[in-house]
Amino acid sequence: MLTFYFYRREDVKRIPEALAAGCGADALGIFAAWLSRQVPMHAFAMLGKRYDVGDVESDREVCKVFWVTSSSESMNP
């Protein structure tokens, strides 16, 4: 499962507080878990496929999926 986190500006400002309280800094979900004990949080399932574009090669693979004309492929470096 791929997870996305969207935080409000005022919640992001609490990162130093979370770290001072012992919240680990090495995994994204740890801050979300800590924050959920501090403020109300909401979650929803995002249906459909998502693509992780973490490097040039994965970007090219995603472009193959979405670019359907040869003219648009010429825009891909």
pLDDT by 10-residue block (mean), the chain, 77 residues:
84 95 86 94 83 85 72 51
Q: What is the pLDDT of residue 68?
A: 58
Angle at 45 between CA 43 and CA 50, to 5 degrees: 125
Q: What is the pLDDT of residue 35?
A: 95
Quick one: 27 and 62 in the same domain? no
Quick one: 40 and 4 in the same domain? yes
Rounded CA separation 11/23 (Å)? 14
Element (H, E) at 61: helix 56-66
Quick one: 7 and 34 in the same domain? yes
Quick one: 6 and 39 in the same domain? yes
Quick one: 26 and 61 in the same domain? no
Quick one: 55 and 66 in the same domain? yes
Structure-token pair, residue 75: 């825009």
Quick one: 62 and 75 in the same domain? yes
> In which domain, by residue range, is 42 found?
1-46
Q: What is the pLDDT of residue 69?
A: 43
Q: What is the 3-state secondary structure (H, E, C) of 34-52?
A: HHHCCCCCCCCCCCCCCCC
Rounded CA separation 62/53 (Å)? 8
Structural domains counted in the chain:
2
